[in-house]
Amino acid sequence: MEFLFQKHLQHAAQEPVLSRFSRLTDDNLSLTAMTEFQTEALRAIVTRAYKHNAFYRKKMLQARVKPRDIKSLTDLAKLPFTTKDELRGKPWVLLAADKKDVSLINVSTGTTGGEEIYIMQTWRDHFLNEFSAGYKGLIEVEEGDIVINALPYEMSSAGLAFHKVFMDSSEATVVNVGKGGAYSTPEKTVKVMRDLQPTVVITTPSYAVTIAEAAAQIGLDLTGLPLKKMFLTGEGCSPAFRQRVERIWGTKANFYYGSLECGPLGIECDAHAGYHIPMG
């Protein structure tokens, strides 16, 4: 009997550009190495989009640019912009693979209004060509840590994306408590934290306060948990509100922002002096 994952593993080689650079252990690359990676990745992406996606091919032809014209990062300026309005309500417009190969579909949260945007992943995308690097020096979550993931797992990529970051890249233990669903209530989340004693929490700024209010109702002092770090994402947050969250939870709270379409965009370190931009 052959398990499904065995069939996938037979074709489990990463894309060449990812295979070479994923073996690096340092969070940082030299400018030369980063430019080499970005240039090669850009050429590979443009070539695939041109060959396998009618929407992108039409846009490139209208802009009179072909994959062979992309030779350096400065050539990025030759490529036409894609707007959200071109994507809204068109599930398959970005697909550059066969529909049968799609394993996961995420839907936009709709925070900017309008019709939904759909982002799809094949099995290879989800398990091999991962959007999020580990950034072990920056994120500082590691094997042995217990991470409370209080983000929505429904439709949006938020919960599942961070689940993969912490479980696969950081090798931590992830508790998928979710964010206020019918089953994943704040009250239940508080009990889970009391029992499991997490070391890391990721949630939205407002839900961090919601959980704290539920904890107060059962007399749980969040500052007594062995937390070493907290990540806030998904919403804007003022410095004053962040300080309030840190005071309630008794730990450092760092911002970690991204988007459905692009993955991680900005990650704070403990200095709180601005964002580290994942340039890969």
Rounded alpha-carbon distances, angstroms, from residue 102 to 122, 237, 245:
4, 35, 39
Q: For position 108, what pLDDT does the model report?
A: 80
Q: For position 160, what pLDDT does the model report?
A: 86
Angle at 229 between CA 227 and CA 233, to 5 degrees: 125
- d(C-alpha 70, C-alpha 43), whole Å: 6
Q: For position 243, what pLDDT does the model report?
A: 96
Q: For position 64, what pLDDT does the model report?
A: 97
Token pair, residue 204, equals: 């939205």
Sign of CA dihedral 75, 265, 85, 101: positive
Q: Is 87 exposed, middle or buried (0-12, 13-18, 19+ CB in 10 A)?
A: buried
Low-confidence ranges of the chain (pLDDT < 50): 1
- d(C-alpha 203, C-alpha 176), whole Å: 11
Residue written as token pair 């931009």: 277
Q: For position 195, what pLDDT does the model report?
A: 98
- d(C-alpha 179, C-alpha 23), whole Å: 34
Q: For position 239, what pLDDT does the model report?
A: 92
Q: For position 17, what pLDDT does the model report?
A: 64
What pTM was estimated for this model as a whole? 0.85
Q: For position 116, what pLDDT does the model report?
A: 85
Q: Is 90 exposed, middle or buried (0-12, 13-18, 19+ CB in 10 A)?
A: middle
Q: For position 133, what pLDDT does the model report?
A: 60
81-89: long-range contacts (C-beta < 8 A, 24 or more apart)? 82/56, 84/112, 84/114, 84/117, 85/114, 86/55, 87/117, 87/118, 88/114, 88/115, 88/116, 88/117, 89/114, 89/115, 89/116
57: alpha, beta or left? (left if phi > 0; alpha if psi -120 to 50): alpha
Q: For position 88, what pLDDT does the model report?
A: 87
Q: Which domains does the chain have, with CATH numbers?
A: 1-81 (no CATH), 90-129 (no CATH), 136-276 (3.40.50.12780)
